[in-house]
Structures are given as structure tokens and as C-alpha cells.
Amino acid sequence: MATGEDVWDSLPEAEQKSVWDDTERNFWVNLRSKKDAENKKIEKDFQLSINEVRLKLSDLTGQRSQLKESQSRLARELAKVEAKLSRTTDECQEKVSQLGRIEQDYHASRKKRTETLHDIWFKMRRFFRQKRGEDPDAQDDLGPESEGIVLPEILPELSSGFNGPTPRVEPTNGTAVVADRPEEEEEEEDEDRMEGIEHHDNRGAESLVDIVDADGNVIGPVEQIEPWNQWVEGIQELEIQRPVKIRR
């Protein structure tokens, strides 16, 4: 029985050449078809990838533009906020300084008002003792608070930050201490003020408070007089909390 090789060898040379020509042609046709399909698939995959990436790139580019715009806007807003913060900080510091000055002025005012009150108290007590025929320089342990003449309570907003109570002016031999004032000048001013009290016409004056005895019986009123000097004006402006009581 003849084999395939024997059959091939028995073919004429021209026929063998024709077979190889057909085989080569079919090979290239099949290869071209196969490669065309492969290349089309690869090209399509690349096109899809490119389109996908380009779409994402376009989206990211839009986001980047929006973010840059937001960044610029926020930078402008931040600059405004920083400027406002700086101004507010300066204003806060100014108010802190102003508050400190007000507190100092307030405590200085209370101190001065307390000194003025005690100065009036001791001078007027000395005057009335003298008018009653008593020793004007007798020791006096009382103060204006004994007649209910006191300053209002310290403002609660300032009481916690104030170190110590308002200082009280202590008496010296029944008179208030007034620094650096000649004794002769003080005596002249006292005489002028006392003379004004003796001769001032109080008819029709407004009643400020009643004078009562130890049992609470009304003796008469304390009438308002014209404030011809700072002492009289100051004592009449003080808050009156109770009647003037004459003790036994």
C-alpha cells in the first residue's frame, strides 16, 4: 500500500508547485483574516480605553477648574476673615484697655466719694458738737453709716476684680484728714460754711428725712438747703436709708 509520501513523490513537479502555491495563498488569507480580527479587537479595546480616560480627564479638568475657582474664592474670603479678625482683635484689646480704665476710674471715684463723705461727716459732727456746747474735738467712733449715709453696693461686675474694700478715712481728733492744706485755710473755710448754715433761709425748703428720738417719735424734719458749696451738695446727694435718730 502506497504511503502519503509515495503519493506526493509520484506527482509531477508542476503539480507539486501548484499545491504549494495554493497552500501559501490559503495560509496568508487565513493569517490576514485572523490578524485583522485580532487587530480590530485590540484597536477597539484601545479606543474604548482612550475614550474612557479622556472622559475621566475631561471630568477631572472640570473639577480642577471648579476647585481652583473655589480656592481663589476661599483665599479672598480668608483674606477678608483675617483682616476682620485682626480688626476685631484690635477692638477687643481696645475694649479691654477701656474696661480697665473704667474700672480704675470707678474705684478712684468710690475712694474719692468715700473720702468726701467722711470729710463732710467729721466736719459737720464737729460743727454740731460745737453748737451744742460740747467738746468739738471729742473722740467720735461713729461714721456716716451710723445715719444710713453710705455708698451703694459696689457694682457686681467689678466686685470680684477689685482687691480690697474702699478705704475709709480715719478721723484724727474728731476731724477728717485733708492732706497738704494749711490749718488756717481750713478754719476759715469751716467758719464760712458754718456761717452759711446759721444764716441760710430755709423757708419752704423740701424735707429730706425726719429726726426721731430714741423711742421713734418724730421731732422734726431735716430740710433741703441750697448747695452753696461742695460739702453741702455732696451730703444732700447721698442716699438716705433711714431717719436721723437721736440716741440717749
Decide if 86 is inside a domain: no
142 has a pLDDT exceeding 90: no
What is the structure's pLDDT at 228? 58
Decide if 213 is inside a domain: yes
Decide if 233 is inside a domain: yes
* Strands of 207-212's sheet in order across: 218-223, 207-212, 244-245
Decide if 224 is inside a domain: yes
What is the structure's pLDDT at 137? 87
**Among 11-15, 25-29, 84-88, the least confident range:** 11-15
Radius of gyration in angstroms for the set of CA atoms belonging to the chain, rounded to a whole number = 56
Decide if 75 is inside a domain: no
Which residue do the cell numbers 480715719 mark? 170
213 against 54, higher pLDDT: 54
What is the structure's pLDDT at 4? 67
Decide if 100 is inside a domain: no
Among the residues of the chain, which ranges form H helices? 4-10, 13-131, 156-159, 183-199, 230-237
pLDDT digits (tens, 9 = 90+) for 168-178: 434 433 333 33
What is the structure's pLDDT at 195? 41
pLDDT digits (tens, 9 = 90+) for 186-226: 444 444 444 433 333 443 456 677 777 767 777 777 777 66
Does an H or E element contain 212, and which?
A: strand 207-212
What is the structure's pLDDT at 236? 66
Rounded to whole angstroms, the Cα distance separating 220 from 209 reads 9
Rounded to whole angstroms, the Cα distance separating 174 from 126 reads 7
Nearest to 143 by CA among 171, 164, 167, 165: 171
**Domain of 209, in residue numbers:** 200-248
124 has a pLDDT exceeding 70: yes
For the chain, give the mean pLDDT.
Answer: 77
Residues 109-138 have a mean pLDDT of 88
Decide if 210 is inside a domain: yes
Provide the number of structural domains found in the chain: 1
Decide if 32 is inside a domain: no
